Amino acid sequence: MKIAVAMSGGVDSSAAAAILKSEGHELVGFTMQLWNQRRGLTVDEHGEPLPSRCCSLDDVYDARRVAEELGFHFYVLNLEKDFERDVVAPFVESYLQGETPIPCVACNSRLKFASLDRLAASLGCDKVATGHYARVEYDEQAGRYKLLRGRNLQKDQSYFLWELTQAQLARSFFPLGEMSKQDVREVARESGLAVAEKAESQEICFVPDGDYAGFIDRYLEAEGERAPGEGEIVNREGATLGQHQGIHRYTVGQRRGLGLSNERPLYVLQIEAARNRIIVGQEEELLSREFTASGVNWIAFDNPTEEVRASVRVRYRHEAQPATITPLEAERARVTFDTPQRAITPGQATVFYRGDEVLGGGWIEKQG
């Protein structure tokens, strides 16, 4: 089988390539150059560009070296313009709208898999392989491909893949789906790969310091724009309690950094971008049972016409909880939990599970 392998330069994608090579597959390696770290939009205390452990030139070199060590052709795809248009700019705009975006989902489905699919097809590849901890199976009875959680639930990355289509899943190959991180590193060691002990990258690749607000300020400045300035912090009744420093510096559920004095701790309940204000309240007010999702993609079946029972996650580290999903028009759905959940945050992804199977997912909408 001829397989296109997405290579980030890290241990996961490198081990995936080593596994496929050992199984006798013909491989073609691709690394995607997504972001120019030298643009200076993330800086250290001296104002110097801050390097990332993801999508850097060093990662490209590491990926190329692994391909050489394993003996297959390797190419670099420059997707910087596509990445900025489809991932970075929407990320900035989402924060300015009072949301808390998760760019890795759009990056995976709309950029990485879409680009690899096109290239794989042009080169006559049968599959596209990545280092994701997830699984794909074909259900002959249903005539559909199923997306399943990685066997190692601590590393499972199915949450980031819910936008994949049946066509993309048909060509997807996840060699690490049954493995633990320890198993993966052992494969890399046994294969003699130089990246076997390379540290993991946890941050968003274009914001390596985790300072999203600082990145947004510098991004907008480079575009000749400015983020909205300070505004009011109010309670549910509309009484002014203080001033915020820009809505892009806050997220639902946040407690620290509000600069408010109160008998009981206050938390961000809602961000009103149109009025440039933040609503705060008590922690128990963060609990809610219901929200609406847009851009819903169903994987396990065609768009349902009746209610669906599932376990639902509202952020990556959220433990899935029982809920009822009511399909709505225009690829939307209403999700109602059996018990209230904390800090359901607009802009985040929600993913629907039945056991290990991903039924589908969507984007959490702003309410009101």
Q: Is the dihedral of CA 256, 262, 268, 273 positive or negative?
A: negative
The answer to whether the CB of 159 falls within 8 A of the CB of 150 is no
Pairing assessment for the beta strands 73-78 and 240-244 based on DSSP bridges: unpaired
- Other beta carbons within 10 angstroms of residue 302's beta carbon come to 8
- Clarify whether 205 is annotated catalytic: yes
Interaxial angle between packed helices 181-190 and 11-22, expressed in degrees from 0 to 180 and rounded to the nearest 10: 60
The radius of gyration of the chain's CA atoms, rounded to the nearest angstrom, is: 22
Q: Tell me how far apart the alpha carbons of residues 127 and 1 are, in angstroms, rounded to a whole number.
A: 8
> Exposed e or buried b for every residue in 270-294, given b needs 16+ CB within 10 A?
bbbbeebbbbbbeeeebeeeebbbe
What phi and psi values does residue 192 have, to the nearest 5 degrees? 70, 30
Q: What is the DSSP letter of 195?
A: T
Q: Which entry of 55, 104, 125, 205 is annotated as an active-site residue?
A: 205
C-alpha distances (whole Å) from 184 to each of 10, 18, 132, 173, 181 are 11, 10, 11, 16, 5
- N-to-C CA span, the chain: 51
Query: In which residue are the tokens 């601590």 written?
Result: 154
55 is catalytic: no
Angstrom distance (rounded) from CA 188 to CA 75 = 21
Residue of 55, 104, 107, 125 marked active site? 107
Coil, helix or strand at residue 45: coil
CB 8 within 8 A of CB 30: no
| Secondary structure of residue 346 in the 3-state scheme | coil
User: Which of 21, 16, 92, 55 is closest to 347 using CA atoms?
Assistant: 92
* Catalytic site positions: 107, 205
